[in-house]
Chain A
């Protein structure tokens, strides 16, 4: 039995989701016989870690601070082993632009993109380059904040007239945005656990609305197929690609790799979540379950490497 601090909440935009992930993890850890200390991450994080003296920290944070390496850095300083990926892998995952460059360097397909900071537009006249970018990427194109974990701020621009407002929206969440070629296809997620790819999950939006922030977490708003209805070769290709992407960013015991399966049957990688959601509706627990791994076992396996660290 160990004393486990579950880090949850925080001030990221995904606070609510994290609180739900954290609560579920706490229950599982208690069932596993651990002594659990829940910590809603705030100004007093370092002090609380020093007071509580946990053997290990289970990081159930999503989004800024918790998923971008900041909290991991603090845990290293305080000397508390923690679950999941290390500082550098977290940083690479959180920044979609860095991640995509790493994918490219590793020969992993990812939709074409260009990325700019707000300063590039304000001080370097990057707006002048927009027509060339639009021509290269085609319409519709997707505009995303570089380091926002959820679907918040992701906009589709159907024509050049919609690009500026989409950029303003994306810059609301991040100092850097990317413009990405839209891949028309199926939305897949492959979770990685202990170096193994779990069954593929497909997210099928109900109705025709974009798979948005709300539906991603709301029961019934999106249908999930797990395992996804794919032929064996496609499943293997998606899983293989996910494993390569996970390795390319140097992720730890688990991650969730989001892919698009293009109309041509070719998968490409959109991004990796270093700390995927662990709520009732989250994809990783579903995939683990499809592989015969219950939630408690999942939590135990995520915890194991940190415990032996």
Chain B
């Protein structure tokens, strides 16, 4: 350590430090949530662990030669520009490419209505910053994207979660909840949804529900934040229109990202919003980072100019599809009959639910300690303590053999716990033999989700 280091750190640290900082922290930090299982997650990083916990796309398939060539072209054409600030709304070429990507999903947008952001995650944060005063309501799905929760909490939002089934968010329940909120004098600011291949649920909102959701937004003059990172990663079934196209750009704010179709590491996403909303988001962004990385934007612009981006997406979709199939097969082979899980038509996640006496946070501890395998405990996707017996399994980030082995190991731990519970209660587990449930074509699309809250109780608050 140098002398400079020493003087900067001060002569002595004392336990008083804690209280000194505690007095300075903003009130909102009290409700900030770091992921509840952060310490458990720290050990999933061990190299011997098969982690089905991540939300990672597979970047190993991107050819290094292509990457090198793109970078040198970029350097030849625009080093000074790549190293410079750019405008807050984003570089024009990138916005045009975004319009092109969205057209591939049937959404027609004017590049002028696009705000380039630092990852799709920034859109969630900017939406909260722009719309949420402490105590304002955000309506989200139950379960919801775990990564949105820290943003919601940091702005002291009151999050109300609406159940989902195989067809996505339960719109009836949404309307009942909106009525109740209205009676209580609480006005939700926006409905946050991942309608396509939901994270973590893996389900997709049906067309009738999409239509109805957009109608509800219009009737109640309520914004919808459509988070659509996975739409182009469809492995079967017909594409559905985005909420944005159904809405015509009045009440839907659209969130897109390059993370799943090119690279999560470039940290580029975007928002499409009605002009007045876009202006506010732009102002909010100025305070956060002035502009998203010019370097990353130039890389994306060069990539789109020189490569057929759809080819890479098609390649990724083929890869993930095989991995999804491997996971669904492994689940049918290895999970006990008491377990249920979703069957996603695209995206990156399967959501599995175990009997309610199994707590998946505790299960994770055992799975990590004894079997070197990890997943995300379901509680991470709720703000109200529900989800305790569910888990999110990622299939995009692991090789097929690791997926099979990982699911097999998790299945073993679950069976042990089911067996132990049976011993403790005198009940017998539903079956001792692995349930070799062949994929029944009639049942293939039936999604099994946990029963709705038995008491009909809904979460009022986070």
Query: Is A184 an interface residue when CB atoms closer than 8 A count as contact?
Result: no
Known: A16-B42, A30-B1, A295-B14. A172 touches B362 (CB 8 A): yes
Contact B362 A15 (CB under 8 A): no
The smallest C-beta distance from A164 to any residue of chain B, in angstroms, reads 4
The smallest C-beta distance from A149 to any residue of chain B, in angstroms, reads 12
Of A172, A219, A289, chain B has the most CB atoms within 10 Å of the CB of A172
Q: Which B residues from 80 to 139 make CB contacts under 8 A with A?
A: none
Known: A30-B1, A122-B423, A218-B34. A153 touches B365 (CB 8 A): yes
Query: Is B435 an interface residue when CB atoms closer than 8 A count as contact?
Result: no
A30–B9 alpha-carbon span in the complex (Å): 12
Contact A219 B25 (CB under 8 A): yes
Contact B16 A165 (CB under 8 A): no
| Dominant secondary structure of chain B at its interface with chain A | helix
A290–B19 alpha-carbon span in the complex (Å): 12
Contact A172 B363 (CB under 8 A): yes
Complex interface bits, A184-216 against B, C-beta within 8 A gives 1, otherwise 0? 000000000000000000000010000001100
Contact A280 B18 (CB under 8 A): yes
A163–B421 alpha-carbon span in the complex (Å): 10
Closest to A28 in B: B13
Complex interface bits, B179-211 against A, C-beta within 8 A gives 1, otherwise 0? 000000000000000000000000000000000
Query: Is B455 an interface residue when CB atoms closer than 8 A count as contact?
Result: no
Complex interface bits, B417-442 against A, C-beta within 8 A gives 1, otherwise 0? 10111011110000000000000000
Contact A286 B9 (CB under 8 A): no
Known: A220-B30, A281-B18, A296-B12. A14 touches B1 (CB 8 A): no
Query: Is A53 an interface residue when CB atoms closer than 8 A count as contact?
Result: no
Contact B357 A220 (CB under 8 A): no
Report chain A residues within 8 Å CB of B29: 220
Known: A153-B362, A153-B365, A165-B359. A289 touches B14 (CB 8 A): yes
Contact A285 B365 (CB under 8 A): no
The smallest C-beta distance from A176 to any residue of chain B, in angstroms, reads 13
Q: Which residues of B contact A (CB under 8 A)?
A: 1, 6, 9, 11-18, 21-22, 25, 29-30, 34, 36, 38-40, 42-43, 46, 356-359, 362-363, 365-366, 368-369, 417, 419-421, 423-426
Task: Provide 27 A-B residue pairs closer than 8 Å at the C-beta atoms, listed in order of the A residue.
Answer: A14-B39, A15-B39, A27-B9, A30-B1, A31-B6, A31-B12, A122-B420, A127-B424, A130-B424, A152-B365, A164-B357, A165-B356, A165-B357, A167-B420, A169-B359, A170-B362, A171-B366, A171-B417, A171-B420, A172-B366, A206-B30, A214-B36, A214-B38, A220-B25, A289-B15, A294-B14, A295-B12
Which 6 interchain pairs have the tightest Cβ spacing?
A289-B15, A172-B362, A164-B424, A165-B357, A172-B366, A169-B362
